[in-house]
Amino acid sequence: MDNLSNHNKKSELDEDEFHGYHRIENYNLETVERLAESYKNILSTLGEDVNREGILKTPERVAKAMQYLTHGYQINAKEILESAKFREEYKQMVIVKDIEVYSLCEHHLLPFFGKAHVAYIPDNFIVGLSKIPRVVDVFARRLQVQERLTVEIRDAIQETLQPLGVAVVIEARHLCMQMRGVQKQNSITTTSAFTGEFQNDRTRSEFLRLLAEKKV
């Protein structure tokens, strides 16, 4: 079987491998096999019996999970925005807040998760609202640090829509801080990134005030 056929060959999916905006129907089976063998070696090195019933298929499951958790590398965020870019004479703030974020810290491969709040002020173009959470997801489904994730979301929107300004705030809990290391279970990390009008104190203050308002 050639590499293309191998890449497109479908493999079985567990129900828990469906989530959010993306559905992985085709795994790269060569990658699954290579990752599974590596995870099998890791489990064995940790002292686990890789042949016992509960662990037997774990290497393959983890291999598929890691492909899903990092599938953002295969998606172009700017193309998502371009697919629903519309000309509109609207120049007021647009905010999409409380967007769920799930990512993996690149330092320990442990999850961090929380909420992203994204705003922009259009200049001739608006974007379909569902595309903003999808852009967040594209960058979150990579090995990340929260600081870079915040900036990547901002830059993709700014460069594609050319708005008057973009604001991104992310609030997240990091398991690398909660489960290990300093073990501070209640710590929350907040990062922000702004362009254009949001660098103006008045506009930024309005954005932060709207974030603080009660949900509808």
Residues involved in catalysis:
105-108, 146, 174, 176
3-state SS class at 148: helix
**Half-sphere exposure at residue 126, Cβ-oriented, CA atoms within 13 angstroms:** 12
Buried b / exposed e across 82-100, counting CB within 10 Å, b at 16+? eeeeeeeeeeebeebeebe
**Please, which residues have CB within 8 angstroms of residue 187's CB and are 6 or more apart in sequence?**
173, 174, 177, 178
Cα distance between residue 145 and residue 164, in whole Å: 27
Rounded CA-CA distance 158/140 in Å is 18
